[in-house]
Amino acid sequence: MDVLALGEVYKRNNYKEWKKISKNWDQGENYFSNADINVYVHPVIEHSGSTLPKRVK
């Protein structure tokens, strides 16, 4: 199941190739499940600090 809609992204960027493989995207050859997917994350910390209340002495 392509919950990230990567098939739609592939379709927009490689339409001619998509037409050839669309029937086997998540069935048959199952290109989606057999694909190597790399995810690169570039986090940005905007506010740092404690979210816990301060101790009262």
On the question of pLDDT at 56 being above 90, the answer is no
**Per residue in 8-51, pLDDT tens?**
999 999 999 999 999 999 888 888 888 888 989 999 998 887 77
According to the model, what pLDDT value does residue 1 have? 80
The pLDDT score that the predictor gives to residue 55 is 76
> How many of the other CB atoms lie within 10 Å of CB of 21?
16
- The whole-number pLDDT of residue 11 equals 94
Cα–Cα distance, 31 to 26 (Å, whole number): 6
pLDDT at 52: 75
Domain that holds residue 26: 1-36
Burial of 22 (0-12, 13-18, 19+ CB in 10 A): middle
Domain-embedded: residue 44: no
Domain assignment of residue 32, yes or no: yes
**Residue 18 resides in a domain:** yes
Residue 52 lies in a domain: no
**Cβ contact 44:50 at 8 Å:** no
- Split into its structural domains, the chain has a count of 1
